[in-house]
């Protein structure tokens, strides 16, 4: 496989075949994200992509899911996306789902009927990092997308019948905007009601702008229990309109929680309440076991 640089994929795509069709992220400006800082965005040529699909098919076709990397594959033109997906199915007919990361700008460029076309061609899930539901937090971290636009994208993906998985970042508002970030993000997730929602915790990597801000004393992360309080506030304010599988079991988090919302919301909040009021650090994931 001709992978360029480090490859990132959502945890739920751990067993998927990864085909890198583009390199980097076309936005690449988020202050907290170091994933693609070493890569200048480009779309790979079809010959290279097809060679990787051929190679994947040669592995006895022992996979049923494919994830198209890197950062925001939905920015690719329709013709190219359709050609890639059709070729995957031709070579690996057992594939039942294709997944991609889609940022807000990329999704907005596609119409609902184009998204439906992609769904018919095999696109089964879109992963979208929304990070926060608070406008000021999104402005500060240079996400390039505000809540009303993110809501538009969620509506489009869902109208096309594609599964939507969204992630948010605990701690992203720092101590200063911690409460607003948590409440607004919970409300925003409820409003969008994705099929899956995950809360990760910001890990500040040295080569990011956020790290420089932290060093300069302009950003301070909430402490462990402050982050758990954010998680609790988020859940309290998250009123979903359909079933949503919520998880904070990513390795970056101090406390793994899984809940099928709305059914298990109160149970998850009660658990968080107990842990927060206990103040017991030993319950939390040790620092050395946290990672992005």
Residue ranges binding ligand SF4 (CB under 6 A): 25, 27-28, 30, 33, 35-36, 71, 103, 129
Nearer CB in complex with ligand SF4: 284/292: 292
> Residue 90: exposed, middle, or buried by beta-carbon count in 10 A (0-12, 13-18, 19+)?
exposed
Pick between residue 105 and residue 224 the one whose CB is nearest to ligand SF4. Answer: 105
H or E element in which residue 198 lies: strand 196-201
Instruction: Report the residue number, 36 or 246, with the smaller CB distance to ligand SF4.
Output: 36
Largest CA distance in the chain: 58
End-to-end CA gap in the chain = 24
Looking up tokens 């925003």 gives 188
CB of 201 to ligand SF4, least distance (A): 15
Q: What are 259's strand-pairing partners?
A: 246
Rounded to a whole number of angstroms, the minimum distance from the CB of residue 32 to ligand SF4 is 7
To the nearest whole angstrom, how small is the minimum distance from the Cβ of residue 160 to ligand SF4? 21
Residue 72, SS3 per DSSP:
coil
How far apart are CB 128 and ligand SF4 at their closest, in Å?
9
How far is CA 12 from its chain centroid?
Answer: 11
Q: Which is nearer to ligand SF4, 99 or 272 (CB)?
A: 99
Check if the beta carbon of residue 70 is closer than 8 Å to that of residue 20: yes
User: For residues 30 and 81, which CB has a smaller minimum distance to ligand SF4 in the complex?
Assistant: 30
Closest approach of Cβ 86 to ligand SF4, in Å?
26
């Amino acid at each position: 496989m001709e992978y360029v640089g480090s490859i990132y994929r959502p945890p739920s795509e751990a067993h998927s075949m990864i085909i890198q069709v583009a390199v980097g992220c076309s936005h690449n400006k988020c202050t907290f994200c170091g994933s693609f800082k070493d890569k200048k965005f480009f779309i790979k040529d079809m010959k290279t992509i097809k060679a990787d699909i051929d190679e994947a098919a040669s592995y006895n076709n022992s996979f049923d899911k494919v994830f198209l990397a890197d950062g925001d594959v939905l920015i690719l033109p329709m013709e190219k996306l359709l050609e890639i997906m059709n070729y995957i199915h031709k070579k690996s007919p057992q594939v039942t789902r294709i997944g991609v990361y889609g940022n807000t700008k990329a999704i907005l460029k596609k119409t609902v009927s184009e998204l439906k076309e992609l769904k018919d061609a095999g696109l089964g899930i879109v992963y979208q990092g929304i990070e926060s539901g608070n406008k000021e937090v999104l402005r500060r971290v240079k996400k390039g997308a505000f809540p009303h636009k993110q809501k538009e994208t969620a509506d489009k993906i869902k109208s096309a019948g594609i599964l939507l998985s969204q992630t948010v970042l605990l701690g992203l508002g720092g101590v200063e905007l911690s409460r607003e970030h948590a409440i607004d993000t919970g409300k925003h997730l409820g409003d969008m009601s994705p099929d899956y929602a995950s809360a990760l915790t910001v890990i500040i990597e040295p080569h990011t702008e956020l790290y420089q801000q932290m060093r300069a004393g302009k950003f301070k992360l909430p402490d462990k229990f402050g982050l758990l309080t954010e998680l609790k506030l988020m859940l309290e304010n998250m009123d979903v309109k359909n079933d949503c599988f919520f998880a904070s079991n990513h390795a970056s988090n101090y406390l793994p929680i899984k809940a099928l919302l709305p059914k298990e919301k109160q149970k998850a909040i009660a658990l968080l309440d107990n842990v927060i009021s206990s103040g017991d650090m030993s319950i939390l994931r040790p620092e050395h076991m946290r990672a992005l």
